[in-house]
Homo-oligomer: A and B are copies of this chain.
Amino acid sequence: MPRQITAFSNPLVKQVRGLREKKNRRADGQFVAEGLRILTEAREMGRLPQILFFAEGTRHPLLDALIATTEAAGGDVVETNADILGKLTSKDNPQTAVGVYPLPATDLAAIDRDAAPLWIVAQALRDPGNIGTILRTGDAVGAGGLILIDDCADPFSFEAVRASMGAIFTQRIAAARWEAFQPWLRSGPAQLVGTSLQTSHDYRDPCYEKPVFILVGNEQAGLPEAYEQECDLLVKIPMLGKADSLNAAVATAVMAYEVINQWRS
């Protein structure tokens, strides 16, 4: 049976509210996902929350299933009110369900490159919304996951998790310095493809060979030149207007769809 919490001063509420900060996510080894649909997708992937909050008076078959499986797995199920739920998520539009999940391992050893034909590698991406959107795109193109190089925004932040629309649970996530990523990448088959303004090589011309690793650079600076030199292919997405670059998540998607379209043809 779910227990009830209706006091904002409750220690569990305070702890979960603290998970909006990265240092607390690290210390507690947990992150938060919101929304019945996304929590249900996680459940279908075999990922259950350690703590599940839901709003009193909410009845939905998917919520019932989520409560039942979470309780069966020994999770803590908490019935609360919309006000507290809103404070857990700091949103104007609170969700009916909030789940607290264990942070997965994010070392490169978590990545099995044979598990997918395509992987996305992001370097020094600073916008958590971009990271979440790239995860969502990764899911759509059948990528295996996202490898975050150097200092990126946290993929387990509220904003990134929200923008991922559930892909935080379907995509493998790793984080590494470039110096560690390089030898790992070359320890097996890999075609590292960077998008660059320094080349005239149209992104539709090469033959992409599995497994492809698409490398995306920082929103302002793009890829460091030394990283570009390590790419097996440097390609350019045509820019027909005044601007010289695309949004990082958009460029990743345009590139990734070209790769899978070649394979679909």
Contact = CB atoms under 8 A, between A and B. Distances in A.
Interface residues of A, number: 37
B136 A247 contact: yes
Interface in A201-259: 204, 237-243, 245-247, 249-250, 253-254, 257-258
Interface in A134-148: 136-142
Nearest to A139: B241
Contacts of A242: 41, 44-45, 139, 166-167, 170
A250 B41 contact: no
Contacts of A44: 242
A137 B247 contact: yes
A142 to B, nearest CB: 4
B238 A260 contact: yes
B140 A243 contact: yes
Contacts of A41: 242
A145 B133 CA distance: 24
Nearest to A127: B129
Contacts of A163: 247
A165 interface: yes
B260 A257 contact: no
B249 A137 contact: no
Which of A137, A241, A249, A264 has the most chain B CB within a 10 Å cutoff? Answer: A241
B241 A142 contact: yes
A187 interface: no
B250 A137 contact: yes
Contacts of A10: none
Task: For the complex of A and B, list the 5 residue pairs with the smallest distance between their C-beta atoms, beginning with the closest.
Answer: A142-B240, A139-B241, A250-B253, A139-B243, A133-B247
11 contacts: A129-B129, A133-B250, A136-B247, A137-B250, A140-B239, A142-B240, A165-B243, A165-B245, A166-B243, A170-B242, A247-B249
